Structure 1
Amino acid sequence: MASSRDVASRLRQAVFYGSVPLEIRLDKHDCRTYDDSEPYLIQFPRLLYLGLLIPKLHSFFSNSLIYPDVEPREAWLSYENVPLKWHYPLGLLYDLYSGSEAYSGEGDGNDEESANKGNLPWKLTIHFSGYPVEHLVKLDAAGKHLHDLYINSVKEADYVRNGTGKTIMSLNKDDSTKLWESVKEHNFSVFNPINQKLLNPQGINLRNIPIKLYLPHAPFDTTEEEPTPGSLRVLQAPVPPILSSRSPQTLGTALNTMIPSLFPSRRIPTLAQPILHGGILPLSANVEDLLRTAAYLDGWLHIAVVMMA
């Protein structure tokens, strides 16, 4: 019988290698031909960032561009006219903007009808003009912005977990370099040992679980009469692994504390469902177990909240 450690390791690896098929087309306003250019097709890892794909997309579409000298940093991606944040993991973006159609509770998830509800391959558009600076920070030629945003998120998660940022700061130079390189290269064998050092620091007890909840279209923002399409409300709060009753914190107890209006019950979803890595999470799930097996590459549990049909 496999040990719990072996099972956890296999789960981490399965999450790491999850992917979403993409079909990316060039926006007609940037295309020099009257007909659409050929699409760029790729099976892209759920945990990675679209910003890492931009140089390849620029190279692929360069011969079809009206202005071939345009730089990669001018590129941005959209889904149904919604600008996609290139520093958000692909899996989170898909779950927020398209995957919700697959979580209606209809179908068994294995037939063609269910696949179509999930909008796969996910059809995106790449643009090389009209950069939406009010929604997105621009990439830079060297990729430093994406690196810095990732490392800052890792540091934030480290502080939430331990009440100090010493763990990430104490990594040696080689591990610090390999951490980002393993993300860019999507290399589990290099990433996992370093990540385990961050999740299991010696002499430090786990204080809180790094959880961020994403609610699309800002449904509770009363300051906006018409929220911008694709706008998000991001929530986070201290989530200790153990309740005051000494019982383990479950996802249901955490969600009931963070957004009781959507999760009035700690056991049964009635208004909304939590989605992680393309699946509906049971409210009975232990949040510490989720952290150790299903956190994103920056150490956070990025959970999409999808309204039930």
Structure 2
Amino acid sequence: MSRDATSRLRQSVWNGSLPLEIRLHKGDCRTYNESDPYIIQFPRISYLGLLIHKLHAFFSSSLIYPDVAASDTWLSYEGVPLKWHYPLGLLYDLYSGAEPAYPPDTSSPSQKSESTEEERRHLPWRLTVHFSDYPNEQLVKLDNEDNILHDLFKNSVKEADYLRTGTGKTVMFLSKEDSTQLWEAVKQHDFALYNPINQKLLNPQGVNLRHLPVRLYLPHAASDSLKEEASPGSLRVVQSLVPTNLSSRQPQTIGTALNSILPTLFPSRRSALLAQAVLHGAVLPLSASVEELIRATAYLDGWLHIAVVMMG
């Protein structure tokens, strides 16, 4: 992939967003009728935790107990608490039930129209906001100063850097100004602030990339090894060392990586037979280079967070 193509794709990923319609849970609402919903177009690669102060301010006049703090806020979809450290786009790909988009060369005009109609049915994504009964066993509780959300993000950035370089020193040696700029870029969703720091992380001086940060998210039913009763929305999260190249020195592709990590779901390196890999709402071609995807389409923390969707 050329540098220009990588840059264009990175910008497209950055600009991706989802319309959200967030309604107050009836158990927290002091009026008989529902309160007005909070409507927002929110970046796919960002984190819902950055909305807690706005949601608290918007719904505070409608709450039964108005003295609750912003840190008491949590969001759910159809009864499933939504994890703060998962980007919005990943949450949507995992839980919304919307059909992913297909590469242009693999979808017919009828599939495209069906996909458009499917999207209309699932958008805006309707979420529920709660201010009581915090699900502590399923969610980390945030604080009013965004310190915990910042720590969750930074730890994920460090882990991605450690996999890429084998040391994690690129993140550790960032200046305080660069570290602050990275978090401000995330909070403000500012590409001009984010890109210079991200390029430093992806292109460490004098270091070759060793492994690629890839996480796979499987619905509970896709895992034969998990026999116990599943809670709603439960997932199996899988990651493994993904070298940049194969032993044959050929570039690692999505197909070769998935075949190595999940051979029962991806028995073929070239064709999706049982499951598909979905990133940013689109089915990934198995021939795509993992390193090129990291450079062009990784989430803000440097990871490829890939939803595994069963076919049929």
- Pairs within 5 Å for 1:1-309: 4-102=2-100, 107-109=111-113, 113-117=117-121, 119-217=122-220, 219-220=222-223, 222-309=225-312
Matched residue pairs, number? 306
AA aligned opposite 2:198: N
Q: Deviations over 1:18-52 (max 9, x none)?
A: 10110000000000111111111100001111100
How far does the alpha carbon of each residue in 1:111-148 deviate from its partner, in whole angstroms, 9 at most, with x for none? 7522235x110000001111111100101111110000
Where does the alignment leave 5 or more consecutive residues of structure 1 unmatched?
Answer: none
Aligned-pair distance for 1:299? 0.5
Unaligned runs of 5+ in 2: none
- Does the residue aligned with 1:41 lie in a helix, a strand or coil? strand
Distance apart, 1:225 and its partner CA: 3.1
Change in CA separation of 1:68 and 1:224 when aligned onto 2, cut-off 3 Å = farther
Contact 2:73 2:131 in 1 (8 A): yes
Letter in 2 for 1:113: E
Given that 2:274 and 2:311 are in contact with CA atoms closer than 8 Å, whether structure 1 keeps it comes out as yes
- SS state of the match for residue 124, structure 1? strand
The letter for the 2-side match of 1:5 is R
Q: Structure 1 residues 10 and 112, CA, compared in 2 at 3 Å: closer, same or farther?
A: closer
> CA–CA distance in 2 between the matches of 1:223 and 1:285?
30
Q: Secondary structure at the match of 2:126?
A: strand
User: Would the aligned equivalents of 1:211 and 1:302 in 2 still touch at CA under 8 Å?
Assistant: yes
Cα-Cα RMSD: 1.7
Q: State the distance in 1 between where 2:18 and 2:246 align.
A: 36
Structure 2 length-normalised TM: 0.94
Task: Calculate percent identity across the aligned residue pairs.
Answer: 67
How far off its partner does 1:227 sit? Answer: 0.4
